[in-house]
Structure 1
Amino acid sequence: MFGLTFDKLLIVAVIAAFVIGPERLPTYAAKLGGLVRSLRDFANGAKSRMREEMGPEFDEVDWKKLDPRQYDPRRIIREALLEDSPAPASSIKPVTQSAYAQRAARTLQAGAVPPFDSEST
């Protein structure tokens, strides 16, 4: 979490104890305990509300699969690329002319109406 290790948190706690002082330390420790307790109650309330709104489907959901810490873009891209089967060789045509030359080769027959897209105008 934010690159904090137990050692760093211990150092921050010792510095906070010196800054706050022994007179006010119990008060702030009680406030911290209350904050942690209220956050835990909030999380449990959200969980019970989800269970209530989703009904029996709540237990069927694999919550570990939805954990954002499981997200690895390299793995997802690798799996997506490996799942696609290669295109059949018969559908691939070699390019003999440039796109400009191909477009210029398409001409309208005498009396033919050019294509018109009513949604684009």
Structure 2
Amino acid sequence: MIDISVEKVALLLIIAVLVLGPTKLPEYARKLGRLIRELRRMASNAQEKLREELGPEFEDIDWQKMDPRQYDPRRIIREALADEDPLPKPVTSIQTPLPATPPGRPAVRLAAGQKAPFDDEST
């Protein structure tokens, strides 16, 4: 959680002794101990409450798998490519689509090499 080295703790204790003095230091140490115990109790109560409200189906979830820091796109692509999905069946009969013609106009087939009509006024 908090990354405090031994040197930093010793420095904080020396500063506390100098600022508070030896007479008030035991009183503030007791208050700090009570505060830490209260914070631990609140954290454990919050965990219990969360477990109660989520129910038993959430107890066996592996939360490490859902950690976004574990996301590796190369691994995901490698696993996706390694999955062998069956290929779709080949099409045996091909149906020719109907030509798109405006309503009321019959479709006209063009001869080989004949250019399609072009409308100069169209946009």
TM range (shorter): 0.5 to 0.7
TM-score of the superposed pair, with normalisation by structure 2: 0.53
* Residue of structure 2 equivalent to 1:80: 76
Q: Taking structure 1 as reference, are residues 2 and 19 closer, same or farther at Cα in structure 2, changes over 3 Å only? A: same
Deviations 1:19-58 (A, max 9, x none): 2111111121111111111111111111111111112124
1:3–1:36 CA distance, 2 compared to 1 (3 A) = closer
Structure 1 unaligned segments of length 5 or more: list them. 87-107, 115-121
- Describe the superposition over 1:65-90 as per-residue Cα deviations: whole angstroms up to 9, x where unpaired: 4567xx25xx623423433439xxxx
Count of residue pairs brought into register by the alignment: 88
What TM-score results when the alignment is normalised by the length of structure 1?
0.54
The one-letter code sitting in structure 2 at the alignment partner of 1:46 is A
Structure 2 regions of 5+ residues with no counterpart? 83-115
Aligned to 2:55: 55
Alpha-carbon deviation of 1:6?
1.9
Please state whether the residue corresponding to 1:61 is helix, strand or coil. Answer: coil
Question: RMSD of the alignment, in Å?
Answer: 3.2
1:64-115 C-alpha deviation (Å, 9 max, x unpaired): 54567xx25xx623423433439xxxxxxxxxxxxxxxxxxxxx9736x88x
Larger helix proportion, structure 1 or 2? 1
Identity %: 39
Distance in 2 of aligned mates of 1:65 and 1:10? 39
Structure-1 separation of matches of 2:49 and 2:39: 15
Contact 1:50–1:58, Cα closer than 8 Å, also in 2: no
2:118 alignment partner in structure 1: 110
Which residue of the partner structure matches residue 105 of structure 2?
Answer: none
The more displaced of 39-48 and 14-23 is: 14-23
Partner of 1:13: 13
Partners in 1 of 2:78 and 2:35 — Cα distance? 48
